[in-house]
Chains A and B, each alone.
Chain A
Amino acid sequence: MKPEPLVRAVAAEKVYESGPLSVRALQGINLEILPGEMVAIMGPSGCGKTTLLNCFSGLDELTSGEVYVDGKSLSSMTDKQKTEYRAKRMGFIFQSYNLLPVLTAVENVELPLLIVGHPPKQARATAMMIIEQMGMKGWEQHKPSELSAGQQQRAAIARALVNSPAIVWADEPTGNLDTDTSRQIMQLLKQLNVGNRQTFVVVTHDPAVSEWANRILKMRDGRIVEDTAAK
């Protein structure tokens, strides 16, 4: 039996209005993402990859159409509900890591737990555990500016995973990294995907990254033009 999709989009449209110009960033997207999938979204710059990620994760709103996450319509949720949903069920990884520069690595990682109300001690213990898993033990009290790019992205991944989210949205997670570090990061994501059966949606234009995915979506001009299972 086919499992219930974790994310389902129906005729999703997103139009950016800028003065007299309007840009159709997403055009009639219909898509289902199943639990445990690792999906790579590829395409040239400006094709709508990041917009899709933002709209499907509830960070942005569609102009028309609908996105269901865990069977719930995002458009029917209030901002507070969406925020709560993101905090509990989603993780985010960004190209430029986006760690809070004023917090240490461990403080960055434990933040999502604190947001959902975990006691600080427990949050710190969980954060330390995941930091160790990420191979960053000994660096936990360092601020982002004192970490290498790879370390920063590991800390960002730890932050994305600390809540054991059902789905992790990753926007060009290796965009700022060298080849070796990129491979290590993707290996890590793949282990988590397989080991924890966590769903990963990775936006990338790097074919080497897409090789780690078990499904590849190719986009052009706001449409999904190809949906293939990885080799």
Chain B
Amino acid sequence: MRDTTLALLLVAVVFTVVIIAAARRRVLLRMSLKNIARRKTRAAIVVLGLMVGTALISSAMVVGDTLEYIFTEDVLQRWGQVDEVIGTQSAGVYLNFTDSYYTVLSQDLASRNAPIDGIAPGIVQRLTIRNELEGLWAEPVSVIGIDSALEAGFGSLITTEGSSVATQDLVQGQVYANQRVAEKLSATPGSQLRLYFSQASFVVTVADILGDKGTANLDKQQIIIMRLDEAQTRFQMPGRINFIRVSNTGNEEDGIQHTAEVTAAINSIMDAHGWNPATRPRVAEVKQQGLDDARGFSKDVTQVFFIMGAFAIVAGILLIINIFVMMAEERKSEMGISRAVGMTRGQLTQSFLFEGAIFSALSAFLGSLVGLGLGSLVVYFFSVVFPISDRGLTVTFHFEISSLVLAFAIGVLITFFTVVLTSWFVSRLNIVRAIRGQPEPVPRRTTLLEASVALLLVLGGVAAIWLRSYPPANIASIPLLILGVMIGSLRIVNPRYTATLGGIGIIAWVLGPKFVESNEPDIYVPFVTAGLLLVLGAVLIVVFNSSPFLRMITRFGAKGKAHPVLKTSLTYPMSKKFQTGMTLGMFSLIMFAICIISMIQGMQGSAISNQIPQQTGGYDLVAHTTEFKRIDDANWSRGMQESGVSEYIESVSNATVVPVGVLPPGNTKTIPYTLWGVDNVLLTTNEFGFRELADHYYDRGGQYHLIQTPRDAWTALADSDELALVDGNAAGGTEVSPAEGELRLEVGDRVSVVSYQTGAMQNFTILGILQQSLPGTMGLFVNQQVVRGNYSMTWSAYFFQLRPGVSARFVADSLKSTFIEYGYGLETVIVAEVLGQVIETADRVLLLMQAYLGIGLIVGIAGVAVIMVRAVVERRQQIGVLRAIGYTKRMVMVSFLLEISFIALFGSVIGIACGIVLAYRVWSMFFQEVTPFIIPWLHLAAVALIAGVATVLATASPAVRASKTPPAAALRYSE
């Protein structure tokens, strides 16, 4: 639900003022209404043009609404009644603890009247399961042990048939399977399933199939539910559990309002009982966190759409100005007559304003609805490019009325205030010249209006310099001063020189060293400001300098009958600099945004492919045991031989892995992470790249060593027990994988690593930050002996380099099926697949953005078409003259199409040039190290071509209509 109060209040103020003014001057209101009614087609075109901005705002909000809804629903389905989970999870595995914790917590929470309506103990193990009869495997499956008697507050277990069941109904060896795992294993009631745990396995019988709801849908896993006491026996955890679920008072959604209170109560109870903070289970606010993430994600997405849409929204504002200036021009003589018969300038402005207010309200209303349609289109693209249904998410189009209301209000305000300024500006006409339809002469001296605008801009610039700590103000400061000086000196120096110098000055400032500080936390707003200013500078230069260039084109570009056609088509836009500037700006902004996205896409693709060896370390496959178990050497050799894959493997390195808590410097709270003790083979064979590396280290004997190559850093791990290397995620993520956790380590940091098993603490110095941050291989990398010597419960991980042409999937499947027979469940990570997914996701985000901007482009082209329609109407008499003196229909049509093609061409060139220049600037500041600068010429050319052709097609209809106008009718025409 968005807060619409302020926006609605402003709209109410605007309309109240308009209504009061209209009541006082009814005749003006009547004139405005009649003006709208007598030119219905034109009114429709105006509304169409005006609704662009609102439609884009509305669509961005609707996309945000839908994403928030999808992810919020997912969180609610994932956790059901569960609000908090007490337990220590590391790398997907829960560490066990005594069940007396549960007894104490449930009693104390009750005695403290904590706002909970359920607390239940449980055991969860991630195992590999096989339906031997069907020969089907499922892994990982969460096997959950619960006691239905303690499950009050979490809802009953409901079978797919709809009947309620309980764990007390199960006998030894019986389990319930949820629908998800039942489908995977083709299991039905009575099916026998083999569960692989430790070096043994046991068979259970499916008593019933549960619907994927409530506890049977926990975290949307494949789930097997058994009795808690049987789980304790089977998983060798007598008297122990490994997680406790808590349900707060209230339903699935509103329970989270008590999360902070409940978490505080649990922590307080743990403290009161003196449980060791390092080893005691942690409280995870799973639902609150999930909902926060969902809302944060949708907010981020909305923001990104807003930012990319900002260029199109500004283009929409330029369109509004263009439309109203054109409207004023076509009505100039009428306005002159009104002034002649006694209407004051203020009343003229008012009559325009009444019309503008009606147009604003209508267009904002329609725009917010059209935005709904655009939003659904984007959501559709989203569901196509991100097949999120694979991840159990359902794409449901959803919007909040408040979003539409807010978009409407913003649209009304933007349109209305643009109209206010334009109306005031156009009302300043000379009565006689207006009646005669003559253009206003160019003033010889600076007018009061120009002086005022110049002064305002200069003052704005000074204010922006004063506020320069705010990045957009910093960027806009000097350009505002430049624009002020430019407008102030228009009548003193040749406008061409002032505009050109102004344009160059703005571009130089934007691209100069002050563009944005590299440590700027939020680059988006300055980026948009910089983009807008860059396009403004370029448009100024082009509009004021293209005449000689176009004259040259006319002179040499066409012979025979093409010559006059080219001449008229080029002269019109160049003689109406303001209108052309607005149209060019509109087109350029959209092309600029598309160009930037294409550039990012190209460079990101290149950055990722450059980083493949650094990300993968040169390994094709990583495998690790699914539980705390080290595969001993004999079993390893036996398994490798049995699996028959040895001949496909180039080399294998191994690591001993353990979940730990990491205490970064200055922190009091440990953060769950993974400690990788890597063997000498890995130390000497891996190709992982580094983002940052220390320049020296001291070995065990205190001897100083220089680090000159990445290999030196790995060797250092063998030389010292107190050095660690961390993955990129622990230092804030990379362009391949943004940071997901809370760790923000730097080279040289001294971190403490706490064992969850014993509470023992060990210190490491961070020697380097790896490039890689792929899911499945994140953690602190240290000497293997350190892990083996200090931790008993570890698991094993293996890094495989395969021979060329060998299928990693085949090797992974062979290893899994062999080692499961020896009691070792293996999880495998096929590095190329994971990396492919990361690349694909990044690519899809940009593709989606391009699709969105594509919609912006359509809107921009429609805007150009609107202008074209107006131009045809405006020039109807001139068309008649041209036809009378010998222009054929074809020449008239081609003349209009050429005119618009030049706008599209110049707009594309400006937009693309600015995009390339700004992208280069951003690249040189942030990405020079990771990727070469790439200009996707083909892609850009294709976009420009599509935009150009689409523009010509969109404007073909008015151009054809213009050409078909009978000359006599055109000559007679007066609007």
Contacts and interface: CB of A to CB of B under 8 A. Distances in A.
B436 to A, nearest CB: 9
Contact of B885 (A60, A79, A101, A115): A115
B438 A80 contact: no
B516 to A, nearest CB: 42
A166 to B, nearest CB: 14
Contacts of A54: 967-968, 971
B568 interface: yes
Given A59-B971, A111-B564, A117-B560, A145 B885 contact: no
A158 to B, nearest CB: 12
A65 B565 CA distance: 35
Interface stretch (A86-94, A125-133, A134-142, A220-228): A86-94
Contacts of B884: 57, 59, 86, 92
A120 interface: yes
B711 interface: no
B881 A98 contact: yes
B92 interface: no
Interface string B884-915: 11111101000000000000000000000000
A83 B885 CA distance: 8
B759 to A, nearest CB: 85
B560 A92 contact: no
A102 B561 contact: no
Contacts of B882: 100
Contacts of B880: 59, 98
Contact of A102 (B571, B967, B972): B571
Contacts of A87: 885-886
B439 A92 contact: no
Contacts of A159: 885
B238 interface: no
A143 B571 CA distance: 12
Residue among A87, A88, A92, A114 with max Cβ neighbours from chain B (10 Å): A114
B881 A100 contact: yes
A59 to B, nearest CB: 4
A60 B968 contact: yes
B886 A84 contact: yes
A120 B555 contact: yes
Contacts of B969: 60
B966 interface: yes
Contact of A103 (B439, B571, B967): B571
A114 B563 contact: yes
A116 B891 CA distance: 12
Interface in A155-180: 159
B966 A60 contact: yes
A210 to B, nearest CB: 22
A87 B572 CA distance: 22
Interface in B573-600: 574-576
A115 B881 contact: no
Residue among B555, B887, B889, B969 with max Cβ neighbours from chain A (10 Å): B887
B577 to A, nearest CB: 11
A92 B968 contact: no
B156 interface: no
B718 to A, nearest CB: 80
A92 B881 CA distance: 9
A107 interface: yes
Given A100-B568, A111-B564, A83 B878 contact: no
A87 B561 CA distance: 12
B415 interface: no
B332 interface: no
Given A102-B571, A145-B438, A145-B439, A112 B886 contact: yes
Residue among B883, B885, B967, B969 with max Cβ neighbours from chain A (10 Å): B885
Nearest to B574: A102
B801 interface: no
A118 B790 CA distance: 96
Given A102-B575, A114-B563, A83 B966 contact: no
A87 B882 CA distance: 10
Nearest to B555: A120
B167 interface: no
Contacts of A92: 881, 884-885
Given A59-B884, A60-B966, A98 B878 contact: yes
Contacts of A83: 883, 886-889
A116 B886 contact: yes
B877 interface: yes
B240 interface: no
Contacts of A84: 886, 888
Given A54-B968, A60-B968, A115-B564, A101 B439 contact: yes
Residue among A60, A101, A143 with max Cβ neighbours from chain B (10 Å): A101
Contacts of B878: 98, 100-101
A100 B878 CA distance: 6
B220 interface: no
Contacts of A112: 885-886
A94 B886 CA distance: 15
Contacts of B885: 86-87, 91-92, 111-112, 115, 159
A111 B565 CA distance: 10
A120 B881 contact: no
Contacts of B567: 103, 107, 111, 114
Nearest to A88: B886
B883 A115 contact: no
Contacts of A60: 966-969
A91 B885 CA distance: 7
22 contacts: A50-B972, A54-B967, A54-B968, A59-B880, A59-B967, A59-B971, A83-B887, A87-B885, A92-B884, A98-B877, A98-B881, A100-B882, A102-B574, A102-B575, A111-B568, A114-B561, A114-B567, A115-B886, A117-B560, A117-B561, A120-B555, A120-B563
Interface of A: 50, 54-55, 57, 59-61, 79-80, 83-84, 86-88, 91-92, 94, 98, 100-103, 107, 111-112, 114-117, 120, 143, 145, 159
Interface of B: 438-439, 441, 555, 560-561, 563-564, 567-568, 571-572, 574-576, 877-878, 880-889, 891, 966-969, 971-972
Given A60-B967, A88-B886, 8 more contacts: A54-B971, A83-B888, A84-B888, A100-B878, A111-B567, A114-B564, A115-B887, A145-B439
* Closest 6 pairs (CB-CB, A-B): A87-B886, A60-B968, A102-B575, A114-B564, A54-B968, A115-B886
